[in-house]
Amino acid sequence: MALFDALQKLKDTASGPFEQATGSPPELYTSPDMLDLELREIFEREWHCPGLAADIAGPGDYVTFSIAGQPVFSIRQKDGSIRSFSNVCRHRMMQLLEGSGNTRSIVCPYHAWTYGHDGTLRGAPHMEKSKGFSKKDFCLPEVRTEIWNGWIYITLNQDAAPVAELLAPVNDLVAQYRMDKYVPCETQDHVWQTNWKLLTENFMEGYHLPVAHKATVGKWIGLDDTVFPDQPNPHFTWQTFTKGETATYGRAADANDYLEGRWRYTTFMPTVFPAHMYILAPDHVWYLSLRPKGVGQVHVRFGVALAPERLAAFPSKEAALRDLVTFFDHVNEEDRFVVEGIYKGAHGALAQAGPLSFLEREIHDFQKYLAIRLCPEKSGAAKVAAE
């Protein structure tokens, strides 16, 4: 099936009733043309999350990321704000920073052009004979940045609506957890052998939890308690579920005096389209932020932060970390197994997706999102990609 036909099929299932929805056609996960279209129509236009504001708490703390192939970094300023910039030197385009850390200034590892935290070029050795050269002409391009409930969001799109506006309908839901006070415990970067959308879809549905995660989180979840929003939203989707008394993680610590009633054991699980998703529980937050690395690979940034009162209940931070990281590594491996397995399965000549369970409602929401951005009526982009 050509990509154009696969997109038509996506549009058909997205515009039909959920009760008749099926999974998406395999070509949407395996076609390099589909990825080109997604990078152009989605990744270059949307907000992306490189991590938690608390990951870069002090002046000069930075974290690197990329948006549709554009290297970027976010850095804490002396005044406490966070700004983001192109991570590409204005001399001969060397990548400036790697990973995360702290720096007094940003020094290019190639010829030592040096930038301030505000992206201005402060030093450029041996440039005095270059006619007309002026440092003020070579600042790093700034990338739009917003902080929302403790998350950093960045976009290359000057025209994108503000995050605070897009996510306003869930602001109160998120804010009640006081997630901006959570303490980051672990961040890891991985590359998984799958298409990015398979991981997004996997995260959104609880249907697989009792099976694929039976050894870990699956046994704690009350699937019958799953709640979805009344109306789908074009920018995100979410569900809430509860965790039982035997759950190791997911319930408010005794010292939590701000969550009440069922919210003390309820988890809020949003996916901010296209690729930021998290599990926000009364005692921890666990997130993924995805970037395609070709059609069959995805960069996965995974992070965990603990509510301060939960952290305080451990004998030591080291003990908390050891316990937590081992546990979530295990959960991630369970997910990696299935999303890499689906990617292999989608290449089969006989591969075809079947109907969805009511627990996969958000996959249908995601299909609607993809159809709006990628299908021909919107921009003609899909047609171009198919030709």
Q: Does 135 bind ligand FES (CB under 6 A)?
A: no
Amino acid (one-letter) located at 63: V
Q: Does 91 bind ligand FES (CB under 6 A)?
A: yes
Alpha carbon distance 160, 140 (integer Å): 21
335 binds, among Fe ion, ligand FES, none (CB under 5 to 8 A by kind): Fe ion
Alpha carbon distance 205, 211 (integer Å): 12
Q: Does 113 bind ligand FES (CB under 6 A)?
A: yes
CB within 8 Å of 169: residues ≥ 6 apart: 233
Q: How far is the CB of 92 from ligand FES (least distance, A)?
A: 4
> Quick one: how many helices (H) and strands (E) in the chain?
12, 16
Q: How far is the CB of 134 from ligand FES (least distance, A)?
A: 16
Dihedral of CA atoms 212, 216, 222, 225 in degrees, nearest 10, equals -70
The token pair that represents 91 in the structure block: 């001399």
The token pair that represents 164 in the structure block: 């605070």
Cis geometry, peptide bond prior to residue 274 (ω within 30 degrees of 0):
yes
Q: Does 133 bind ligand FES (CB under 6 A)?
A: no
Q: How far is the CB of 125 from ligand FES (least distance, A)?
A: 8
Among 94, 127, 321, 325, indicate the residue that binds ligand FES (CB under 6 A).
94
Q: Do 266 and 272 touch, CB atoms closer than 8 A?
A: no
Helix (H, G, I), strand (E, B) or coil at 73: strand
Q: Does 139 bind ligand FES (CB under 6 A)?
A: no
Q: Do 239 and 362 touch, CB atoms closer than 8 A?
A: yes
Total number of residues binding ligand FES (CB under 6 A)? 9
Taking residues 61 to 90 in sequence order and writing x for each that binds ligand FES by CB under 6 A, - otherwise, the string is ----------------------------x-
Among 108, 275, 307, 331, indicate the residue that binds ligand FES (CB under 6 A).
108
Q: How far is the CB of 69 from ligand FES (least distance, A)?
A: 18
Q: Site residues for Fe ion, window 318-337 (CB under 5 A)?
A: 335
Q: Site residues for ligand FES, window 156-185 (CB under 6 A)?
A: none
Binding residues for ligand FES, rule: CB under 6 A, are 89, 91-92, 94, 108, 110-113
